[in-house]
Structure 1
Amino acid sequence: MLINSKLLNTYGAETTAINPLETIFREGEKPKYYYQINTGRIKLNHFDEDGKEIIQSVLVPGQSVCELLLFIDEKYPVNAETLSHCEVIKLPKENFFQLLAENKDISLDINRFLSERLFQKFVMMQNNLSLRPEVRILGALDYFKSYSNNHEKYSFEVYLTRKQLASITGLRIETVIRTIKKMERENVLKIENSKIFY
């Protein structure tokens, strides 16, 4: 958990249950809240000029949702949509800044987390420029595994579908499926009951 939920509650946070396929905020809206996921998964996406969905990230319990935009005066460049039933902690922006001002250790943790996330995002973006599909897929898998505490081989269960991996990497679903099978043959990852372990 990025910030302890009890501490968030003392600053006026509310926990909300949200059904699958609901929108938490839309591209173009102004950030008004700090969001942290208790349960469930949330995707950050937008649609290109042809209406194709581009998934920027998939967030899991313990992660916060677009908190970096609370620090600047910009609108959301993405939508946040639930992929499953979610429980989300929601704290007003002003209360979030009061919490940071009164808890310097948490402020440092947030800065470290943002820095790590930006670093991994840069690496993934560089990999997405590759013409080799395995490089793009590895970049995405490394990015999502970076949030895990266990970095041993095959320790990370990839919670993304093949379609979501295709959207994140800009590849066709068929290419993702073919490349994942090749990566399994090369022992880069393993597949058990259709689930990918990296």
Structure 2
Amino acid sequence: MRKMINDKYLRFHGAVEKTFSKGSYIFSNGNFQNHYYQITDGVVKLFSTGLNTLGMTFQLIRKGEQISLYSMFAEMPLLHDALALTDCRILVMPKECFNKIIEHDKVLMLKIIKHLSTESFSQPLMDSFSITDSPRVKIQQLFHNLKYEKVDQEKFSYEVRLKLKQIADLTNVDIEQIMPCIKSLEEQGLLKIVNDKIYF
């Protein structure tokens, strides 16, 4: 997910920057998404607490990215929670204001359609991540998903800029298993570690 809307443009049209402390909720399962959210600083995690998902974290969202944009158009209750994984600053715009912008800005509307289409196209890839029980495969699939949207798809071209705790949170793998799994992936030639940095 890449920034589609300039921060200044959002502010001009009524967006307000709000701060969310680490551990606080941006929105919760069961509510309707009545605002557009774009992160200016920090990391937000999306996770489901449904009966069949056992609190599964399925996405980390960072600076410049939107939070659950598709929910703005679904007109249905949210099926997940959004939690500030770090202290965050987020531009928040009421849904009514957002709708007025895209009604008059056809270029932006096309960007949104392209963005939502890309997410829909890659959903089977994300689903395959959630159905495996193997910690090693979960971590490998996470790295693959993170790299998926990047232009450079050459082997070892993507630097994984996540701490072990973040990898554990996103994969629901015990933090003590993370490094052994990463070492195993390195031994298989699926990633490499240079100066304590992971390249996938």
TM-score (norm 2): 0.84
CA distance in 2, matches of 1:84, 1:147: 23
CA distance in 2, matches of 1:22, 1:102: 34
Shift of 1:14: 0.7
CA distance in 2, matches of 1:138, 1:29: 33
CA distance in 2, matches of 1:143, 1:14: 31
More off after superposition, 143-152 vs 57-66: 143-152
CA distance in 2, matches of 1:127, 1:120: 12
Contact 1:121–1:143 (8 Å) recurs in 2: no
Q: Which residue pairs with 1:189 in the alignment?
A: 191
CA distance in 2, matches of 1:65, 1:52: 21
More off after superposition, 67-76 vs 114-123: 114-123
Partner SS state of residue 53, structure 1 = coil
| Number of residue pairs aligned between Structure 1 and Structure 2 | 198
Pair 80,132 (structure 1): closer, same or farther in 2 beyond 3 Å: closer
Q: Which residue pairs with 2:7 in the alignment?
A: 5
Q: What residue identity is the alignment partner of 1:57? A: Q
Pair 186,156 (structure 1): closer, same or farther in 2 beyond 3 Å: same
Contact 2:47–2:81 (8 Å) recurs in 1: yes
Structure 1 unaligned blocks of 5 or more: none
Partner SS state of residue 189, structure 2 = coil
Q: Which residue pairs with 1:73 in the alignment?
A: 75
Pair 193,79 (structure 1): closer, same or farther in 2 beyond 3 Å: farther
Shift of 1:129: 3.4
User: Aligned match of 2:64 in 54, 62, 65?
Assistant: 62
CA distance in 2, matches of 1:51, 1:183: 26
Shift of 1:4: 1.0
User: Aligned match of 2:94 in 87, 92, 104?
Assistant: 92
Partner SS state of residue 47, structure 1 = coil
Alignment root-mean-square deviation, CA: 2.6
Structure 2 unaligned blocks of 5 or more: none
Pair 83,169 (structure 1): closer, same or farther in 2 beyond 3 Å: closer
Partner SS state of residue 70, structure 2 = helix
CA distance in 2, matches of 1:153, 1:74: 40
| 1:72-123 Cα distance to aligned partner (Å, 9 max, x none) | 2111111111111211111110111111111111111111111222222321
CA distance in 2, matches of 1:60, 1:190: 24
Q: What residue identity is the alignment partner of 1:139? A: Q
| 1:9-32 Cα distance to aligned partner (Å, 9 max, x none) | 221111112221111111111111
Partner SS state of residue 90, structure 1 = strand
